[in-house]
Amino acid sequence: MSHFDLTLFDAVLLDMNGTFMFGHDRFDKAEDYYSTYRVLGGVAYDAETVNRVINTCCEDVAAKYEDAEWQNKFPSVQETLHQVMSAEGLPLIEIDLLVNVVAQHELGDVSPPYVEVLKHLASTHKLGVVSNIWSGKKLWLDLFERRGVLELFDVLVFSSDGPHLKPSPELFEQAIRATRVQPGRTLFVGDDPHRDVLGAKAAGMKTLLVGDRQAAGITPDWNIPKLTELQQAA
């Protein structure tokens, strides 16, 4: 991490999934959504219906997630499930519970080493999150509180508050306005060249890419293997 000086910045904004949260997005076709549904108290639908409806919902959301046309009008999981279930003529009596099932499978975790680096960064910089998630943010806020990191963040910007997705500069600009730190004094850290590096650069920030993902024509200002290396630089 040569020539990198974290003291050049007053704020550090972070992507979440793949940057400091892992074990997220468990949306494989073989995933047992029905078991989660039953644990949450669901009784209205059978296993085949639950798994089919959620798989259809996730396929639709995933397709829109990759389509630039939806970058500034991304639909919620609730809206998508409503459309899927209505098209099948299913009663909507437990749609909120199914929305929660999707969120449970989207949610990852923050392990102790990443908790420590977040605490270290928050001791020297204003700290924030700018993250794309499909589901409402409640489970993430609850998790942050359980892991003791919620109060570390000066700002939390989630795409599910709608309707924008990274790399739309709107999400990055929301965070900049909240921290009241100039873009040139703000470092954005993420693992996705397109969504994180491209979006943050468009908002005027310097960028630090975590990991080895590459995209043609997109170059971060710096690169590190994993976020925990920032603990040595803070």
* Residue 216: predicted pLDDT: 86
* Residue 1: predicted pLDDT: 44
Per-residue pLDDT of the chain (234 residues; tens, 9 = 90+): 446 889 999 999 999 999 999 999 999 989 999 999 999 999 999 999 999 999 999 999 999 999 999 999 999 999 999 999 999 999 999 999 999 999 999 999 999 999 999 999 999 999 999 999 999 999 999 999 999 999 999 999 999 998 999 999 999 999 999 999 999 999 999 999 999 999 999 999 999 999 988 888 899 999 999 999 987 655
The residue type at 29: K
Which one is the CATH code of 6-23+109-233: 2.60.40.10, 3.40.50.2300, 1.10.10.1800, 3.40.50.1000?
3.40.50.1000
Query: What are the structure tokens assigned to 33, written together?
Result: 């959504």
What are the residue boundaries of the structural domains of the chain, listed by start?
A: 6-23+109-233, 33-106
Sheet architecture: strand order including 222-224: 155-158, 126-131, 11-14, 186-190, 206-210, 222-224
* Residue 43: predicted pLDDT: 96
How far from the centroid of its chain's Cα atoms is residue 6's Cα? 23
